[in-house]
A = this chain, B = another copy of it.
Amino acid sequence: MASFTVENYLKAIYSLSRSNETGVSTNALADHLGTKAATITDMLKKLNANGLVHYKKYQATTLTDKGIEIALNIVRKHRLWEVFLVEKLDFKWDEVHDMAEELEHIDSNELIDRLERFLDNPKFDPHGDPIPDKNGVIERRDQIQLTELKVGQKGYVTGVKDSSKEFLQYLDNQNIELGNELLVKDIFDYDKSRVLIIEGQETTFSQQVCKNLYVNIIE
């Protein structure tokens, strides 16, 4: 079985691969995992030897199929536990990340399958991220960043791109939650900030905030 540490490496490589199709650099991984580049090199050699990554000296690293499978299972567990914490234990969406980081390593697929059923087979976690099924299949979603909506267009909030505590708490303060309907009333050329009507309430959001909100267009 993959150790706690190995699971975290695979998850990190998976996660960084989302934004970088060509593969992941040693330094990017070191940053992400809070370790030093030398440590990453050591581990990549081991993961490579165990058939979990494709690694060649000085080149970007990618996951093998086996590596992807393990990473997706960790992501699945992480997101299901987050749903549990929010839906059943009433935690807020900005409070669950660290606990889920631990719970994701509990080693029982039977447990996680039963948890999934107990939670009524949720398809998305509290931040709107999709939950892989037991075969690692992720439901694809046609969500876009709020910045892509033009003036006059309507949408509803489906997720957040940045799930940092700070951003989630900012959204709480603004009373924004998943499912909220909104209309883009105006975009200021100067700083690309937007005037929005969210659930009937007029609010102004910076471009940065809008980039970090995913929406579905309402035709």
Instruction: Identify the A interface with B (CB < 8 A).
Output: 85, 88-91, 98-99, 102-103, 105-108, 111, 114-115, 118
Which residues of the partner chain B approach A90 to less than 8 Å between Cβ atoms? 114
Which residues of the partner chain B approach A99 to less than 8 Å between Cβ atoms? 106, 108, 111
Which residues of the partner chain B approach A89 to less than 8 Å between Cβ atoms? 111, 114-115, 118
Instruction: Show 18 A/B contacts (Cβ-Cβ < 8 Å), sorted by A.
Output: A85-B111, A88-B118, A89-B111, A89-B114, A89-B115, A89-B118, A90-B114, A91-B114, A98-B108, A99-B106, A99-B108, A99-B111, A102-B105, A102-B106, A102-B107, A102-B108, A103-B103, A103-B106
Complex CA gap A107/B103 in Å reads: 10
A60 to chain B, nearest CB (A): 33
Complex CA gap A5/B95 in Å reads: 27
Say what secondary structure dominates the interface of chain A: helix
Complex CA gap A181/B75 in Å reads: 46
Which residues of the partner chain B approach A91 to less than 8 Å between Cβ atoms? 114
Q: Name the residue of chain B whose CB is nearest to the CB of A90.
A: B114
A18 to chain B, nearest CB (A): 27
Which residues of the partner chain B approach A102 to less than 8 Å between Cβ atoms? 105-108
Which residues of the partner chain B approach A103 to less than 8 Å between Cβ atoms? 103, 106
Q: Which 10 A-B pairs have the closest CB atoms?
A: A89-B114, A102-B106, A99-B108, A99-B111, A89-B118, A88-B118, A103-B106, A102-B107, A89-B115, A99-B106
